[in-house]
Amino acid sequence: MLRRPEEMASRMASVREFKVISRGVDSILTETVAAADGRDTAFILQLDFHPPGRVDFRQLKGELRSLQGEDILEPGPDGVRVTETIRFDIGLPIFGDLLGRMGIQQKIQQQIEERLAVLKAMAEGHKPV
């Protein structure tokens, strides 16, 4: 499912536009326009797949100074546990960074929750609510 980001993006309300720029054996380059705080935000991400259950991602172009992280999928007795870690730098001085980080963290948390709901729905074979 994580190798089909276009399918995930098509199910996410926050994603306005999405396209796969290139697809390699273990990597995908994507371009996304997403709604964030009443305006659209565009970014290019590189996804690198490390079987059996890890995907690293990093922003190559976008509004943040940097954005990177990973998704780790761990099978367990009750299903698959998904852990997503995100690190970002908004590129503002210390005080602005603190204020900006608080708002950006909330937006990122909302996007993570939306992505996880879509991933769960895809795994269970139905559309997210």
What SS3 class is residue 48? strand
Question: To the nearest whole percent, how much of the chain has pLDDT over 70?
Answer: 85
Model confidence over 49-63: pLDDT tens digits?
A: 998 999 999 999 998
Model confidence over 26-42: pLDDT tens digits?
A: 999 999 998 876 778 89
**Residue 129 confidence (pLDDT):** 44
> Strands, DSSP E only, in the chain?
15-23, 27-36, 39-50, 54-61, 66-76, 79-89
Range of weakest confidence among 61-70, 97-106, 120-129:
97-106
Tell which residue, 61, 118, 55, 64, has the closest CA to residue 87: 64
- Amino acid code (one letter) for 7: E
**Residue 115 confidence (pLDDT):** 84
More confident residue, 33 or 92: 33
CA distances 83 to 25, 29, 62, 75, Å, are 23, 21, 24, 11
Question: To the nearest whole percent, how much of the chain has pLDDT over 90?
Answer: 36
* CB distance 127 to 11 below 8 Å: yes
This model's pTM is above 0.85: no
Superfamily of domain 5-124: START domain (3.30.530.20)
Measured distance CA(109)–CA(92) in Å, rounded: 20
Residue 14 reports pLDDT greater than 50: yes
Kindly state the DSSP code that residue 93 receives in the 8-state scheme.
-
